[in-house]
């Protein structure tokens, strides 16, 4: 279910979560990446109630992650295909699978990402596209971008001071409203 307040939040992570909605939407996207396209396939694979599935499919179509394609006129039947926006979500699904296998599969991995031709298991990592270096918290950090809101700047400034060991006051989000970041 879409979270409207998150959809308009200044943070791109919050906005993304607001669009994706809940865990059912993630499961539907997982199944779409696997190759499922039809309502009954999604319903049986996820063991999801039909009314919930209908609502989530509509939201994913409305948000541009899936497209609804007719495959039968009588009776009307549809398939759901990933759009480019939906296909671009694949690294998130792969990262969740890797994380889930690592931390929540005590008996071992339930699924593996493998190279198609050789079936060699591969491990996903996030890398810097320019250098190929793994992204690690020791070497990389997030900073406000050119369109960052005052809140994003306030959070960043606060955390920078905190990491530097400054005696920072409490985190008070309303403080950001009085700051002028356009002059920076």
Q: Is residue 131 part of a domain?
A: no
> Closest Cα partner for 78 from 66, 87, 90?
66
The runs of H, that is alpha helices, within the chain are 4-7, 12-20, 23-34, 39-46, 50-62, 84-87, 90-104, 150-163
Work out the number of other CB atoms within 10 angstroms of the CB of residue 11: 15
Query: What is the C-alpha to C-alpha distance for residues 110 and 34, in angstroms, rounded to an integer?
Result: 14
150 assigned to some structural domain: yes
Domain boundary among 48, 67, 87: 87
**In terms of domains, do 81 and 18 share one?**
yes
Residues 6+ apart with CB under 8 A from 143: 156
CB 98 within 8 A of CB 123: yes
- The structural domain count of the chain equals 2
Q: Tens digits of per-residue pLDDT, 8-62?
A: 888 888 888 888 878 999 999 999 999 999 999 999 999 999 999 999 999 999 9
Q: Are residues 72 and 146 in the same domain?
A: no
Residue among 143, 153, 141, 142 nearest 182 (CA):
153
Residues 117-159: tens digit of each pLDDT: 999 999 888 999 999 999 999 999 899 999 998 888 888 888 8
Name which of 36, 42, 20, 38 is nearest 96 in CA terms. Answer: 20
Together in a domain, 77 and 145: no
26 is a domain residue: yes
Q: Is residue 109 part of a domain?
A: no
* Residue 14, domain member (yes or no): yes
What's the CA gap between 159 and 55, in Å, rounded? 39
Q: Are both 82 and 156 inside the same structural domain?
A: no
What φ, ψ does residue 59 adopt, rounded to 5°?
-65, -40
In a domain? residue 53: yes
Enclosing domain of residue 147:
141-176
The answer to whether position 103 is within a domain reads no
Which one is predicted more confidently, 120 or 175? 120
CATH number for the domain spanning 79: value is 1.10.10.10
CA angle, 105 then 111 then 114, to 5°:
135
pLDDT digits (tens, 9 = 90+) for 80-128: 999 999 999 999 999 999 999 999 999 988 888 999 999 999 988 899 9
Within-domain flag for 41: yes
55 backbone dihedrals φ, ψ, rounded to 5°: -65, -45
Reading the block at residue 113, the tokens are: 């990402």
């Amino acid at each position: 279910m879409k979270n409207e307040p998150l959809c308009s939040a200044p943070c791109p992570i919050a906005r993304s979560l607001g669009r994706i909605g809940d865990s059912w939407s993630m499961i539907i996207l997982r199944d779409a990446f696997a190759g499922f396209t039809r309502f009954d396939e999604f319903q049986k694979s996820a063991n999801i109630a039909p009314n919930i599935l209908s609502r989530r499919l509509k939201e994913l179509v409305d948000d541009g992650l899936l497209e609804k394609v007719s495959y039968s006129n009588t009776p009307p039947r549809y398939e759901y295909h990933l759009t480019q926006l939906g296909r671009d979500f694949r690294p998130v699904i792969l990262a969740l699978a890797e994380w889930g296998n690592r931390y929540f599969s005590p008996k071992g991995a339930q699924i593996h990402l493998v190279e198609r031709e050789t079936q060699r298991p591969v491990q996903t990592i996030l890398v810097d596209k320019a250098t190929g270096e793994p992204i690690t918290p020791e070497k990389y950090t997030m900073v406000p971008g050119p369109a960052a809101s005052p809140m994003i700047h306030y959070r960043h400034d606060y955390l920078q001071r905190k990491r530097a060991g400054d005696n920072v006051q409490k985190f008070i989000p309303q403080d950001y409203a009085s700051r002028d970041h356009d002059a920076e």
